[in-house]
Amino acid sequence: MDRIAVLIPVYNDQDGLERTLASLQQNGETADVIVVDDGSEPPVSPRPNTHLLRLPENMGITKALNHGLNAIMASGYDYVARLDAGDISLPGRFEAQAAFLDQNADHAVVGCHVLHVTEEGMPLFVNQPPSDHAHLSQYMRRRNGYDHPSVMIRVACLKETGIYNEIYSGSEDYELWRRLLRRGYKFANLPTVYLHKEVTPTQITARRFRSGPRLRVQLRYFEPLQLECWIGVARTSIALVTPRRFALWGAKIQYSIRRRAEAGSHSSCCL
């Protein structure tokens, strides 16, 4: 058994799972892969050298994640890395994240920069949240500081604070980060793109309309003396009442602006 478990929940996405597992195989990194099939019909077929856990029916991603985490925590792993079906993990990610956690015992979670791509694989933008704990902890009082599939988590911290809270399904990761933050654990992001994440404007809209659980998280961990908490609640409240058609329109504009900014940045580097 390796020190690292890679947790991949999947529901009716055999093709996406195949792409993700192929990227892991090509990387040659040492990690045990745990796939949780959340009641897919037909059931997914994993590749060799993966561990498959099946749920009897579709129960949602939070329950699927917790099912996998319970198995991982019972098996003696040091770290758990997240991926979603369809994500492409780049070489060196797990080694770099594990090395960081090895060297920083007070950190519970480390992520990385993430390249968002279209369904056709065209680059959209790079999500570059703060890297160090001081800036990232403030950032997370306003919004989530991680693309969920980019993280590696210290298993010992999960054993102490608990796993994902199913009450906040849709923002279960954000609630866990805020819970760990309140316990005094530190967070970081590696300033390197180690993940390609496929997204569409429709998915962005869906995230906006999960504002309800996100707002509940922000209110639960609200700190009146922290300006970032006020900003976060205000932003989420606005998103909660924004009509769907305007959210989709705004998402498309956001994609266009960020893509142009990324293109301009790359052009400048080549001059």
Domains of the chain: 4-200 (3.90.550.10)
pLDDT (tens digit per residue) in 65-87? 999 999 999 999 999 999 999 89
Residue type for 165, please? N
Put simply, whether the predicted model's pTM sits higher than 0.85 gets the answer: yes
- Is pLDDT of 96 > 80? yes
**CA distances in angstroms from 63 to 85, 138, 199, listed in the order given:** 16, 29, 23
Task: Supply the pLDDT for residue 269.
Answer: 44
- Is pLDDT of 258 > 80? no
pLDDT (tens digit per residue) in 27-42? 877 799 999 999 999 9
Highest mean pLDDT among 15-24, 118-127, 185-194: 185-194
- Average pLDDT score, the chain: 87
Roughly what angle, to the nearest 10 degrees, separates helices 227-241 and 133-142? 40
- Is pLDDT of 21 > 70? yes
Q: Count of H helices and E strands in the chain?
A: 10, 9
d(CA 45, CA 18): 9
Of residues 54 and 239, more confidence is placed in: 54
Of residues 209 and 240, more confidence is placed in: 240
Q: How confident is the model at residue 263 (pLDDT cuts 50, 70, 90)?
A: low
Q: Per-residue b/e over 172-189, b at no fewer than 16 CB within 10 Å?
A: bbbbbbbbbbeeebbbbb
d(CA 246, CA 184): 38
Radius of gyration of the chain (CA): 18
Report the candidate in 98, 143, 90 with the shortest Cα–Cα distance to residue 117. 90
Task: Supply the pLDDT for residue 123.
Answer: 87
Task: Supply the pLDDT for residue 247.
Answer: 46
Span 96-111, average pLDDT = 98
- Is pLDDT of 139 > 70? yes
d(CA 57, CA 80): 24
pLDDT (tens digit per residue) in 140-189? 999 999 999 999 999 999 999 999 999 999 899 999 999 999 999 999 99
Task: Supply the pLDDT for residue 160.
Answer: 96
Task: Supply the pLDDT for residue 248.
Answer: 47
107 in Cβ contact with 185 (< 8 Å): yes
Task: Supply the pLDDT for residue 195.
Answer: 96
Of residues 7 and 212, more confidence is placed in: 7
d(CA 2, CA 89): 18
- Is pLDDT of 249 > 80? no
Q: How confident is the model at residue 25 (pLDDT cuts 50, 70, 90)?
A: confident
Q: How confident is the model at residue 109 (pLDDT cuts 50, 70, 90)?
A: very high
Task: Supply the pLDDT for residue 264.
Answer: 56
Task: Supply the pLDDT for residue 211.
Answer: 80
